[in-house]
Amino acid sequence: MTPAETEVAELCAELIRVDTSNYGDNSGPGERAAAEVVMARLAEVGLEATYVESAPSRGNVVTRIEGTDPGLPALLVHGHLDVVPANAADWTVDPFAGEILDGYIWGRGAVDMKDMDAMMLAVLRQMVRQGRKPRRDIVFAWVADEEAGGKYGAKFLAAKHPELFEGCDHAISEVGGYSLEVDQSLRLYLIETAQKGLAWMRLVADGTAGHGSMLNDDNAVTEVARAAARVGAHKWPIRLTPTVHRFLEEVSDAFGIPFDPENPGPVLDRIGPLARFIGATLHHTANPTRLTAGYKTNVIPGQAVAEVDGRFLPGLEEDFLATVDGLLGPKVRREFVNHDIALETTFDGDLVECMIASLKAEDPAARAVPYCMSAGTDNKTFFADLGIRGFGFVPLRLPKEMDFAAMFHGVDERVPVDALQFGVRVLDRLLMTY
């Protein structure tokens, strides 16, 4: 077993034990303590790193390892140190204990995404200890605040410290590279090449305030509730983007079933719990999530607000927003709470070829396929602000029975130890050959 395989599980557990919960309002503990762990582990092998705080305790770590060919563009490998909060009472184990039980590492961040943070550390430490240099410069970044949009992490670094990413034209990061087992002779590894856009919206209705006992035909609560209900109940038509179309074709071929673009349901039925990931990429989504109005039961408020989590398909933002606006009605206006781009890139190029080769070298049954992610990652920021083309690639060979989709932001989040060991073998091979 290689040094990276030996230590990756404990590195992951060590990072999980540092609570970096992100509540979205800058009230959490921040990422500094986890960043200090990263820097300490880098220092042990003689690597210096740049530490940048965007705000008190909002820590980011960036380091660069030089390649043998300065003429090649650099590669960015990035992961986020923050995690979503966890309620310990709901969990089988303490979500911040980093326990290793039954072949799994348990805890908040085990798959989102302290597993990749640990894999990056383990592979980098191994490369330095063994005196091996990659072909090109590689920039490793452990960043803050991805779970709340990246204001204190990727967005801050891209705006204030773009020099740290000089020469980078491609990137790899989270939510891709994991396996979907068809049978013992074939495993599909999903590489993320597209992400839906983000439109968190505030729906606002103004009405006439008054006493709750009187007649009122201009009730803001009624207006915004009707608008939210229309948006939430809308049946969005299937619109297959190039990435989603290819993914469904690949799955159909793997399982030996016909593919009907007008009825992709039979294909989704074959991929088990991952249908939750993929199903949301067949069309736009808009889910009401909050309702706010008033201050007393017998007072009709003059304003009412609903919030909606909207996700639009790549290339179809105008279609999405026009449909939403048509559902609102004349008395409800729309504002953005958070707005971010959609991404879609092609499944080609030297980096993709190296991903495919690295997977097959460690798993001869591997077949890499592109897919679209229903949410978003920091790859959006690095593309929009610095022009870096990103892919989701955290290589994990998973047990067939594992409900991987449920691990993201879920209770009892965990990752198999042997999946991490597989991952560092693939990642090391990729970084040394690309």
DSSP for 65-100 reads E--S-TTSPEEEEEEE--B----GGGSSS-TTS--E
What mean pLDDT comes out for the span 182-208? Answer: 95
User: What is the residue-averaged pLDDT of the chain?
Assistant: 95
What mean pLDDT comes out for the span 248-257? Answer: 94
Instruction: CATH 3.30.70.360 in the chain: give the residue spans.
Output: 194-340
Residue with the two structure tokens 């009907």: 260
Fold annotation for 194-340: Alpha-Beta Plaits (3.30.70)
Classify 200 as helix, strand or coil: strand
What mean pLDDT comes out for the span 115-142? Answer: 97
Question: What whole-number distance in Å separates Cα of residue 206 and Cα of residue 225?
Answer: 12
Q: Is the pLDDT of residue 194 over 90?
A: yes
CA distances in angstroms from 88 to 23, 84, 245, listed in the order given? 16, 13, 40
Fold annotation for 3-177+374-433: Aminopeptidase (3.40.630)
Classify 399 as helix, strand or coil: coil
Cβ neighbours, 10 Å, residue 124: 24
* Non-local CB neighbours of 86 within 8 Å, separated by 6+ positions: 21, 95, 96, 108, 411, 413
Classify 142 as helix, strand or coil: strand
- pLDDT category of residue 291 using cuts at 50, 70 and 90: very high
Chain segment 76-97, per-residue pLDDT in tens? 999 999 999 999 999 999 999 9
CA distances in angstroms from 206 to 90, 209, 232, 298, 333, listed in the order given? 39, 9, 20, 18, 9
Alpha helices for 274-416 (secondary structure H): 275-279, 317-328, 350-362, 379-386
Omega prior to 113 cis, within 30 of 0: yes
CB 167 within 8 A of CB 70: no
Nearest to 358 by CA among 424, 289, 279: 424
DSSP letter string, 144-166: S-GGGTSTTTHHHHHHH-GGGGT
Q: How high is the pLDDT of residue 430?
A: 98
Q: Is the pLDDT of residue 11 over 90?
A: yes
Is the overall model pTM greater than 0.95, yes or no? Answer: no
Question: What whole-number distance in Å separates Cα of residue 434 and Cα of residue 427?
Answer: 11
Instruction: CATH 3.40.630.10 in the chain: give the residue spans.
Output: 3-177+374-433
Chain segment 302-359, per-residue pLDDT in tens? 999 999 999 999 999 999 999 999 999 999 999 999 899 999 999 999 999 999 999 9
What mean pLDDT comes out for the span 27-36? Answer: 96
Cβ neighbours, 10 Å, residue 269: 11
Q: Is the pLDDT of residue 405 over 90?
A: no
Chain segment 375-401, per-residue pLDDT in tens? 899 999 999 999 999 999 999 999 998
Nearest to 382 by CA among 158, 178, 198, 200: 158
Q: How high is the pLDDT of residue 406?
A: 84
Chain segment 161-180, per-residue pLDDT in tens? 999 999 999 999 998 999 99
What mean pLDDT comes out for the span 275-294? Answer: 93
Q: Is 387 exposed, middle or buried (0-12, 13-18, 19+ CB in 10 A)?
A: exposed
Q: How high is the pLDDT of residue 255?
A: 93
CB 300 within 8 A of CB 221: yes
The HSE-up count of residue 340 (CA atoms within 13 Å, CB side) is 26
Q: How many residues does the chain have?
A: 434
Report the run of H or E that residue 309 belongs to, with start and end: strand 303-312
CB 17 within 8 A of CB 9: no
The residues with which 238 forms a beta bridge, in sequence order, are none
CB 31 within 8 A of CB 15: no
Q: Is the pLDDT of residue 212 over 90?
A: no
